[in-house]
Amino acid sequence: MHNAGTEGSLFDYEAVSRFADAGADVILFPSPGTVPGVREETLAKAIETVENKGSLILSAIGTSQEGADEETIRTIALSSKRAGVDIFHIGDAGYSGMALPENIQTLSITVRGKRHTYIRMAASALR
């Protein structure tokens, strides 16, 4: 997520393609704006290299932005969704141990809408 396992470029499109060819179920990338150099366009290009190979794309907000204001979360979520992300991760905010609940809700509403988010919240409360 933080450029692990790469040399130089954050998006090694050839390596991403090899991961998908090797059968990776999910390939993780940082969400646009969370790591220097990660832009919506670069993420979209990486997604295009694997979109027909069966891998899902997970984008992560995991470099402290999970504790930012709701507008920042909304912007990151929309940018990730436009790029073609399948799965969204919001980090644990370091020592506090969880992202702000308002930001988890904002991410969900931005990606799925209020109705779906509230239904999911109610269903988990009943368990």
- The domain spanning residue 101 has which CATH number? 3.20.20.70
- Tell whether 8 is covered by a domain: no
- Does residue 63 carry a pLDDT above 90? no
Instruction: Give the residue ranges of DSSP H helices in the chain.
Output: 13-21, 40-50, 70-83, 101-112, 114-126
The domain total for the chain is 1
Kindly state whether residue 64 falls inside one of the protein's structural domains: yes
4 inside domain: no
What is the per-residue pLDDT for 7? 59
- The per-residue pLDDT of the chain, averaged, comes to 88
Section 12-25 average pLDDT: 93
Query: Tokens at residue 60, please?
Result: 């992560």
For residues 35-39, give the mean pLDDT.
88
Q: Determine the average pLDDT of the residues in 62-74.
A: 89
Mean pLDDT of 104-117: 96
**Two tokens, residue 6:** 């790469």
22 pLDDT above the threshold of 90: yes
Range(s) of the domain holding residue 116: 13-126
